[in-house]
Each structure stands twice: as structure tokens, then as C-alpha cells.
Amino acid sequence: MTELNVTPMLDLCFCLLIIFMISTPVLEQTTQVNLPKAAQGAGRPPEAKQRYLVVSLDARGQLRLADKPVTLRELEAEFSRVAALPEAEQPVVRVRGEATVTLQGLMDIFSAAKSKGLSKVAIDTEVR
């Protein structure tokens, strides 16, 4: 029998496919932000079943949705789209702001989410 056995190669391909499927959602949230420190309630890992919409605000006031630069108006449009989903399917809006960012920048994001009817909003912090 001179045939080549491809079963181990297929097993390897399926394993790699599964690894990439699991790790891809984590790679989408790669905006580097220097998070503020919190003494309590911080450092819990995100739940695996929950979907998240990550909004980052850097030190210069630039907004990013996932890893794409957006304006406040574009962010409000995305919030409107998310608010149109059924309550159970709406992702949690995670706000990641630099430690040096002003409170007004964060309040703009929160008020945009509230004006569109979103109630699941969280702030990302690091443990001191």
C-alpha cells in the first residue's frame, strides 16, 4: 500500500481552525490603553458567553470602536444599531479610557449610550 495517510494532517488542520476561531475575538480588542487603577471590583475576566462592544478613548480624545477610529456621531449611530437589537442580544458596552483622559470625554460616551437606550455599560479598569 503506497497511499499517503492524510488523517493526521486533517486532524492538525481542524485543531488549528478551532484555535483560531477561539482566539480571534480576543484579538479584535487590541487597542493599547493605559487603564485607570481601581482598588476593588476590578480585574474580573470578561464572561465567555457575553458579547462586548469595546469603545476606547485615548489621551488625545480619539474614539475607537473595537480598533477602528470613529467620531462621536458615528459612535451614536452604532449605539442606535445596537439598541435596535432585542435586549438579550445587546452586547455590553465596555468603555476603556486612558488614565489621563478627562471625565467629560467619558461622559460624552455614557450620555450617547443612554440617549440611544443602552443600559449595559461598563468601565474597564486595572487592579492597583
Specify if 88 maps to a domain: yes
Specify if 6 maps to a domain: no
pLDDT, mean of residues 100-127: 85
Residue carrying the nine cell digits 462586548: 52
The reply to whether the predicted model has a pTM over 0.85 is: no
pLDDT digits (tens, 9 = 90+) for 31-63: 666 666 666 655 556 566 778 888 988 888 889
Which residue range(s) make up the domain with 102? 30-127
Specify if 17 maps to a domain: no
Residue carrying the nine cell digits 476590578: 42
Kindly indicate the confidence band of residue 80, based on its pLDDT and cuts at 50, 70 and 90.
very high
Specify if 104 maps to a domain: yes
pLDDT, mean of residues 87-107: 85
CA separation for the pair 43, 127 (Å, rounded): 6
Instruction: Reply yes or no on whether the pLDDT at 123 is more than 90.
Output: no
Specify if 14 maps to a domain: no
Specify if 102 maps to a domain: yes
Specify if 20 maps to a domain: no
- For residues 53 and 45, is the Cβ–Cβ distance under 8 A? no
Number of domains, the chain: 1
Kindly indicate the confidence band of residue 106, based on its pLDDT and cuts at 50, 70 and 90.
confident
